[in-house]
Structure 1
Amino acid sequence: MKPSPRPDETVSTDRSDYPRTVARGARLMFVWPRELAAIHPLGEADVLIGRQAPAEGVISAMHSTVSRQHAVIRWDPVAERHAVADLGSRNGVALQGQQVSALPRYVEDGAVLRIGDVLAVYERLDAAAVDAPEVSRREIPGESQAVGALRAAIARASADPSPVLVLGETGAGKERIAGELHRLSGRRGPLIAVNCATLSPQLIESELFGHVRGAFTGATREHAGLFREASGGTLFLDELGELPLDLQPKLLRAVELGEVSPVGSVQRYKVDVRLVAATNRSLFDEVERGRFRRDLYARLALWEIHVPPLRARRSDLLGWIDRLHRGWGEHRGQAEVRPLDFSPEAVERLLLADWTENLRGLQRCVHELASAAHARPITPLDLPAWLRQRSAAAPAQSTEPALKDRLLRQRPSRDEVMAALIANNWSIRATAKHFDRDRKQISRWIEYYAIERPDRGDD
């Protein structure tokens, strides 16, 4: 069993800065049309995507817009990355809204892939990542690896009484996480939530720690305060970064010693409270700027849970749209609502959007689309204007001749050289023909970019 963190130790769920080799495992998650939704594992072997029966080395996409041999996904052992190429399909392949030709293009984690009118999201897999079945999928839904890691982090932190710091962008769903931490903790007391940003600096001390009668003008009766009201349970402090600096020592005392003093009193009350705090700010940066106490940050961050933004879990986006749409209908007395229907172009635009407001922005989008009551599939022009303007990427057309002209005008990038070598089975002769250059030039590029080429003997 994993020991609880020491008082001076921070346990973080963020792995972004850890040095590690690229995981060879990956998966392609079909998300549209809904009836084709499935998870397809990827390894080092070539995988064909096409309209044919499932078989080894084949991802079946039984859709009228998909060719029998539509696209291929290959593993590059030198770059340790997957690449995708079009196999001469009728309706094309797009990666992040950009057309893909026979020249393979590397696929990044979280990339959106369009095969005909079938939409998919590519995810690299972390071999160390595990899910947690004890965490409610109703409260923390999603099949993306990012959400699976989030559920695992919640499960690890829930049974320990130490404070938890939940970090994430606005609208990412931090209060749901506090609810699950409380439920799984087994604490019998209540879960009490307060948004520090909604309280005035004059009232926040009284709200948290209480006050005695006559402590200040208007204090006509005694108030226990949220810490005492949450005794035996969990206190969730949202927007912790808004807490005034002069109140932070008092919060530190409550966390470290488990005691509070009401405003206007010297009496101390013992409290048994599990504290969960959340913020969309970088408290580390706030500490460096002198706006947050270093000792309080260290004490609150014994467990850190990083909530992935919506753009980091794109494979869950359509599931959230359906969930929010059902909630929209229930709120209006509609027991059942038909799922929103989209054109493939609209789905692609939704998947590529940046979603800076996260779930709040998605809820706003669903509200506008549901209120419009479209009788036909929703197109990109039907999407809210504010969303269209913010699209992270818009589909663009490109052709093989245009790509070749660009490569002839300037030295290709390392990725372009690598992709051409992979497409031509690392043959310098074939790669030179592709770029319309002599073989010596290809060799110079390989040396310039320090590309490690498999030993093929004389080429």
Structure 2
Amino acid sequence: MEPLLQLMSDLGRDLPPRLRYRRVVQILKSAFQCDAIGLLKLEGEVLRPVAVEGLAEETLGRRFRLADHPRLQTILYAHEPVIFEPDTDLPDPYDGLVESRTGDLHVHDCMGVTLYVDGRAWGVLTFDALAPGRFTRLDLERLKHFVLLAEASVRLAELSSQLEALRSLRADAGTALASGLTAGRQELIGQCPALQELKQELMLIADSDLSVLILGETGVGKELVAREIHALSRRRDRPMVHVNCAALPESLAESELFGHVKGAFSGALSHRAGKFEAAEGGTLFLDEVGELPLAVQAKLLRAIQHGEVQRVGSDVPVRIDVRIVAATNRDLKEAVRQGKFRADLYHRLSVYPVFVPPLRERGNDVLLLAGHFLELNRSRLGVRSLRLSRDAEKALLAYGWPGNVRELEHVVSRAALKARAKAASANAIVTIERRFLDLELEASDPPPGVPGDHGQAAPAPALEPGLTLHEAQARFLRRTIEEALTRHGGNWSRTAASLGVDPSNLHKLARRLGLKQSGATPGGAPRVRYN
């Protein structure tokens, strides 16, 4: 009776959506004395966890395709709560993810029910217990009494989310968001405050036609942010055209952007529209815009200023209606000061700058993203379950991620392959151990001492007045690597072996520290410079 009263009491409280979801699973987990519970929202053909209890945190980053998970599919399409027999052949989506990590969970109890909002299936509640026979027919009847209150809680959370969106968007953009246009496209996964602020900012600017400059390090997901802006805008039904400015040869850049007419140059055998015309009515995404040559920058500026382009070889201007979204990992202000980027173009592009936070500043979002990539790899590799060990989770959280989300994806995919190769069968619960991640020394997380050739740690430099701990760490690592390189005649492989790190990771660390090999001294020792 008390759990029912708690759910009823929560209906009268003003709770943010995420906390309301969490309260539902906490109360129900206690009511049914289960080991794990999940609340999953239906988005197209995918179920997305919005709150879990008793499951690994990375579960929140997973996306469960109904076609890959027949147990979830059965729950969703049933009109009543269901219990699965302990010996059912249907795999459990949470195998290996229960926090206790006791056993392999090949036999355990599962119960589930579909939640409806406004007569439509909203999602499912799943209950898992490690002990077979934990759930009974009596639990099914009890669950029916909780369903209506759980559905009311979910409805309040949905209304709250829509009101938040309406506060940030004009009415038409708010309608677009509420109608589920986010389904079927990649999403920005994470719950850290910085990412939540970014999402709010994107909703605010999406419906305008202001030019947006997306800033951030390599691999943070700038293209994903650009696609989010387009998908939330009034131009969402028109094309979004992606231009990789770094891959544009200067000789062909004008033709690629603005098009050409037949005979304009050697090889122009027919009329061809450029990227601007291809994006008519939609969004033109200029990725790596900082790499554009100055000559092309001038022509791009004219197109943006006047809203028209001229095909190469033609004197006839073509009117265009496109929204410009650009992205760069370079410091364009510094490039302007150095004369490498036009100031007028910079101001045209950066009407509204947006900064995407690096992964190292997003805390536990690393585990959510890892869970997302694990589920993708589980499906690709055809294994029953793919999970992280505790040590692997700690390693992911401790690593500095110089390559950000893109590097995390590659690390998880590579580790999944290694772990699968060691697994006995595809039906086993495959655990990714720390050693499979191949995460070594990082400037953001160095060990107390880096062993030298004789196993001795190099002495740490004295902390100068005004020198931060991070600067002292970086200085220590630079000196250690430089001295080891000198001892080994500039041989990076031997240097890496003596320092006990992988050669590729040593190169990455050296680049991050601004340390590069640039030839050799007359005595044969490497000459090192700092950028």
Scaled by the length of structure 1, the TM-score of the pair is 0.55
CA shift, 1:206, in A, is 0.5
Contact 1:226 1:235 in 2 (8 A): yes
Contact 1:210 1:224 in 2 (8 A): yes
CA shift, 1:396, in A, is 6.5
Measure, in 2, the Cα distance between the counterparts of 1:328 and 1:143.
22
Q: Could you say which structure has the greater relative contact order, defined with CA pairs below 8 angstroms and 6 or more residues apart?
A: 1
Measure, in 1, the Cα distance between the counterparts of 2:347 and 2:54.
47
Distance 1:293 1:394, change over 3 A: closer
1:389 aligns with 2:441: yes
Measure, in 2, the Cα distance between the counterparts of 1:211 and 1:157.
33
Contact 2:58 2:369 in 1 (8 A): no
Counterpart among 372, 379, 397 of residue 351 in structure 1:
397
Counterpart among 151, 161, 165 of residue 209 in structure 2:
161
Residue in structure 2 matched with residue 369 of structure 1 by the alignment: 415
Alignment size in residue pairs: 279
Measure, in 2, the Cα distance between the counterparts of 1:136 and 1:277.
22
User: Once the two structures are aligned, what percentage of the paired residues are identical?
Assistant: 40
Measure, in 2, the Cα distance between the counterparts of 1:379 and 1:31.
23
CA shift, 1:252, in A, is 1.1
CA shift, 1:33, in A, is 8.2
Provide the secondary structure at the position in 2 that maps to 1:393.
coil
Measure, in 1, the Cα distance between the counterparts of 2:378 and 2:389.
18
Q: In structure 2, list runs of 5 or more residues that go unmatched.
A: 1-50, 61-98, 102-166, 424-429, 450-462, 469-531
Residue in structure 2 matched with residue 266 of structure 1 by the alignment: 315
Measure, in 1, the Cα distance between the counterparts of 2:373 and 2:59.
21
Residue in structure 1 matched with residue 257 of structure 2 by the alignment: 208
Q: In structure 1, list runs of 5 or more residues that go unmatched.
A: 1-29, 40-61, 65-129, 398-409, 416-459
Measure, in 2, the Cα distance between the counterparts of 1:287 and 1:364.
34
Measure, in 2, the Cα distance between the counterparts of 1:307 and 1:193.
19
> Which string of whole-angstrom CA distances, capped at 9 and with x for unpartnered residues, describes residues 198-242 of structure 1?
121111110000011111110111111010110000011101011
Provide the secondary structure at the position in 1 that maps to 2:385.
coil
Q: Please give the residue correspondences for 1:99-110 in structure 2 after superposition, counting only pairs within 5 Å.
A: none
CA shift, 1:389, in A, is 2.8
Q: Please give the residue correspondences for 1:6-85 in structure 2 after superposition, counting only pairs within 5 Å.
A: 34-35=55-56
Residue in structure 1 matched with residue 388 of structure 2 by the alignment: 341
Measure, in 1, the Cα distance between the counterparts of 2:57 and 2:317.
61
CA shift, 1:341, in A, is 2.3
Distance 1:289 1:228, change over 3 A: same
For 2:445, the aligned partner's letter is: A
> Which string of whole-angstrom CA distances, capped at 9 and with x for unpartnered residues, describes residues 269-296 of structure 1?
1000011100110111110100100011
Residue in structure 2 matched with residue 287 of structure 1 by the alignment: 336
Measure, in 1, the Cα distance between the counterparts of 2:207 and 2:334.
29
> Which string of whole-angstrom CA distances, capped at 9 and with x for unpartnered residues, describes residues 392-426 of structure 1?
326769xxxxxxxxxxxx9xx9x9xxxxxxxxxxx
Distance 1:236 1:319, change over 3 A: same
Residue in structure 1 matched with residue 243 of structure 2 by the alignment: 194
Distance 1:194 1:330, change over 3 A: farther
Between structures 1 and 2, the one with greater helix share: 2
Measure, in 1, the Cα distance between the counterparts of 2:294 and 2:214.
20
Counterpart among 365, 369, 380 of residue 434 in structure 2:
380
Measure, in 2, the Cα distance between the counterparts of 1:193 and 1:241.
15
Provide the secondary structure at the position in 2 that maps to 1:221.
coil
For 1:328, the aligned partner's letter is: N
Q: Please give the residue correspondences for 1:292-441 in structure 2 after superposition, counting only pairs within 5 Å.
A: 292-332=341-381, 334=382, 337-343=384-390, 345-372=391-418, 373=420, 375=423, 377-384=431-438, 387-390=439-442, 392-393=444-445
Distance 1:155 1:215, change over 3 A: same
Provide the secondary structure at the position in 2 that maps to 1:177.
helix
For 2:204, the aligned partner's letter is: R
Measure, in 2, the Cα distance between the counterparts of 1:181 and 1:310.
20
Measure, in 2, the Cα distance between the counterparts of 1:369 and 1:33.
25
Contact 1:241 1:283 in 2 (8 A): yes
CA shift, 1:180, in A, is 1.1
CA shift, 1:183, in A, is 1.1
For 1:256, the aligned partner's letter is: Q
Q: Please give the residue correspondences for 1:88-99 in structure 2 after superposition, counting only pairs within 5 Å.
A: none
For 2:392, the aligned partner's letter is: A
Contact 1:349 1:391 in 2 (8 A): no
Counterpart among 217, 221, 236 of residue 173 in structure 1:
221
For 2:436, the aligned partner's letter is: D
CA shift, 1:167, in A, is 0.6
CA RMSD in angstroms comes to: 3.3
Contact 2:326 2:349 in 1 (8 A): yes
Measure, in 2, the Cα distance between the counterparts of 1:131 and 1:321.
30
Distance 1:200 1:37, change over 3 A: closer
Measure, in 1, the Cα distance between the counterparts of 2:413 and 2:56.
24
Contact 1:353 1:391 in 2 (8 A): no
Q: Please give the residue correspondences for 1:242-253 in structure 2 after superposition, counting only pairs within 5 Å.
A: 242-253=291-302
Measure, in 1, the Cα distance between the counterparts of 2:57 and 2:221.
28
For 1:361, the aligned partner's letter is: E
Contact 1:322 1:339 in 2 (8 A): no
> Which string of whole-angstrom CA distances, capped at 9 and with x for unpartnered residues, describes residues 400-453 of structure 1?
xxxxxxxxxx9xx9x9xxxxxxxxxxxxxxxxxxxxxxxxxxxxxxxxxxxxxx
Contact 1:231 1:272 in 2 (8 A): yes
Distance 1:315 1:131, change over 3 A: farther
